[in-house]
Amino acid sequence: MSANAEPREGLVIGGHRFVPMIDAAAIAAAVGRLGDEIRASFGNANPLIVCVLNGAALFHADLIRAIGGELEVDYLRVGSYDGGMVSTGRINFTAAPGTSARDRNVILVEDIVDTGRTADHLRRYYQHKGAASVAVAALLYKREADITGHPPEFLGFEIPDRFVVGYGLDYQQQGRNLPAVYVLDAGGAA
């Protein structure tokens, strides 16, 4: 199988079986739509598009190309999973951004918003840094897991509260390079 091939029958990562959920073509279409929405919302305002590493790296790269026009990028790293399948509820800021947000329109690019804690933490962080506005663009959103009530302003897909991998999302650092999104099989173990 080539590096870009999508396993149609599923795959095993860390002893757990994952099955296809969202294929690469659907992801590409959603990224294009989100790029159009962001460009329409911010026009020539030169927004600061911040990638929340590591999970959003692929999505961020594709999204900034889809947005086009004038924009600036930055990167930060936070974590709340500590290698497991459930958020710990603690947000660890492990690499701070380097670009000033003062008077800027900031778009936080997240791979997934589930509990919403990380997105809310980062919204407050950028508001405290003087951003003119802060919005979240997420590939995936788990409305039923969101405890904050603040959905992303720009959303690719709403999904059920299930563990997923692929297109940047991982399980124990594996699966990020998959071109599609896979969900943990209801049976769980391989």
Question: What would the pLDDT profile of 34-74 be if each residue is shown by its tens digit?
Answer: 999 999 999 889 999 999 999 999 999 999 999 999 999 99
Domain extent for 119: 25-159
Residue 43 lies in a domain: yes
Q: What is the pLDDT of residues 129-162, one digit of tens each?
A: 999 999 999 999 999 999 999 999 999 999 999 9
Strands of the sheet containing 72-79, edge to edge, are 92-95, 72-79, 48-53, 105-113, 133-141, 154-158
What are 157's strand-pairing partners? Answer: 140
Tell me if 16 is assigned to some domain: no
Asked if the structure places residue 85 within a domain, the reply is yes
Alpha-carbon distance of 42 to 22, in angstroms, equals 28
Q: Please give the pLDDT value at position 2.
A: 45
For residue 87, is it within any domain?
yes
Is the model's pLDDT at 30 over the cut of 90? yes
CA distance 145 to 113: 9
* Residue 188 falls inside a structural domain: no
Q: Has residue 11 been placed in a domain?
A: no
Active-site residue numbers?
A: 114
* CATH number of the structural domain spanning residue 55: 3.40.50.2020
pTM above 0.85, yes or no: yes
Is 14 within the bounds of a domain? no
Give the number of domains in the chain: 1
The verdict on residue 42 lying in a domain is yes
